[in-house]
Homo-oligomer: A and B are copies of this chain.
């Protein structure tokens, strides 16, 4: 791993490249023979990045491992299960606007959410069987509904992955601050620090060794079932009691005087955050052992079961102990210290497990967001750079983009889960609805096929199946109910921030299509089909702008003269005396090259030069190219660069759109 490029290239290349001789042109015969050399592999050097994110991994190192149901549950459930850490509290936060008495409505609302969970789970189970190669909303919508719905689903999901990170990390920090109130003023920096750590771990690349996932997930599941189980036991035996020293109530929005339908729907919307992450398994079916659809389906059912019962139990117990929504202490913390009898070791373990599962959930988004954006980029709807896998075989750019945007969200919304929730979940439900609409469409197509017929689509294969009507109904119900939830969400939370997503998603879709059209047009304008090669370049006109006669400008002049005999040096004169001196020096050092002095009484530098170049360009003949050779100092230190005007950069920008004009800068390395 330690040989460097030059050694290797030397070995492989040396015999093929003939030594060049002083007459200067003997390489040509060889070049004309058109041999294709294949040069050895390039092995990167180690640097500070190696220390930070690990050594480079070769493309061939990509792992191909599959996992069973138990590990699968651990890997994919963290996002879904972690939402139990805040869903109950967010329901309470909305209800609190109508006074403490309104908090009793939390439990019936959670029952409605459980019903929705059942519908969505059953509906997704069908997707898992239909798309054994991975049935994310983007793929299902693309195959069955077309590009617009697919891009919409993708945009919604990408937004949501960002919010998963912001919400989960903010909630995790809120748990820590509940246990250690002294940390409360540092919530924002703590949360951003956490995002950075998760980013670095993901840039290193998370080995999909299930164990790393299994420990925190099962730790959380076990300890939460212990806590709620113990709580229910104390409830049955009548010894549960109320929260001792409850924190002050923080209501989500402006107080309302009565409990109306709007308030209940508003609280319900907040609670639907519990369903986020349920789609994770359908994205990752290929990770499962064969029969993978079967295994993935069973895992989904287990996950929904655990999620539903935990959520219900937490909401029920919170009601019994009169837990209140507060930005000083989370509901989970109130529940744990009430049930477990104070801030003891078990309490700390519960808070620790909750924080850990929230961090795991954020980590999931760090796997999903880059993968989905690479999928978009591969289809040409996002910058192609996002398909580039970094040194550790991960989509590094997507990871960094996610970390930056999620951190900004945390800063803007002050690490408050309650402030972030109105932006969250709406995208999830939009993508749920679209993917299940796609599934319904798929059953419709299947129902109209002949038995035995097969149609291959990019993501799956369509085969006639009896009972398609029933399956169509399930998916249609899933699609319709999630659509309704999305509309409720958008209306009740519009003013709290949902409007941001309602503006953002269409904007993103519009941008995606603009990008797509650009790439399509690019391919067309670069295509070699029906390409008649233009006449070869036969003549260079070279222009050398000079500010003075010195070693730097003479180096550029030398280079210019090696390109063509037709060289013109141009000096923009803002000071007649200086131009006079320059002319004298030119006679001594100019090597007979033509010098043009452009007087600029208005002290402009770039504009007269551009005018001159454009004038010369008009006189140009076909097969003639104008090359502008710009002398450029390269100071030794970065800061001294600021002391020099970057003429070449400005010229290149100004001339980029002119055909047949090439800007070359000849660097002159300074010792200072």
Chain A contacts to B: CB under 8 angstroms? 4-6, 9-10, 13, 17, 19-20, 22, 24-25, 27-28, 30-45, 56-60, 383-385, 388-391, 515, 517-519, 521-522, 525-528, 531, 533-534, 536-541, 549-552, 554, 558-559, 561-568, 574, 583, 585-587, 589-604, 607-608, 611-612, 614-615, 618-619, 621, 623-625, 627, 633-635, 640, 642-643, 645, 652, 655-657, 659, 661-667, 669-672
Contacts and interface: CB of A to CB of B under 8 A. Distances in A.
A624 to B, nearest CB: 7
A657 B635 contact: no
Contacts of A552: 526
Interface of A is mostly: mixed
A39 B554 CA distance: 22
Contacts of A549: 528
Contact of A635 (B518, B528, B586, B594): B518
A666 B657 contact: no
Given A42-B600, A599-B39, A602-B43, A5 B521 contact: no
A592 B28 CA distance: 11
Given A39-B596, A42-B598, A522-B635, 12 more contacts: A5-B611, A5-B615, A20-B541, A25-B539, A34-B593, A36-B586, A37-B595, A42-B600, A56-B602, A525-B671, A634-B656, A659-B669
B25 A566 contact: yes
Given A657-B634, A662-B559, A39 B597 contact: yes
B57 A602 contact: yes
Number of copies: 2
B539 A525 contact: no
Nearest to A667: B656
B31 A593 contact: yes
A6 B603 contact: no
Nearest to A597: B38
Contact of A27 (B13, B28, B566, B596): B566
A562 B541 contact: no
Contacts of A661: 667
- Interface centre among A531, A559, A657, by most B CB within 10 Å? A559
A604 B392 CA distance: 11
A6 to B, nearest CB: 5
B541 A528 contact: no
A160 B58 CA distance: 58
Give the 10 A-B CB pairs with smallest separation, nearest first.
A5-B611, A28-B565, A521-B672, A24-B539, A27-B566, A42-B608, A526-B550, A34-B592, A537-B562, A664-B664
Given A24-B624, A625-B562, A592 B36 contact: no
A562 B564 CA distance: 10
9 contacts: A27-B565, A31-B568, A37-B595, A37-B596, A38-B596, A528-B551, A536-B562, A652-B665, A662-B665
Nearest to A540: B562
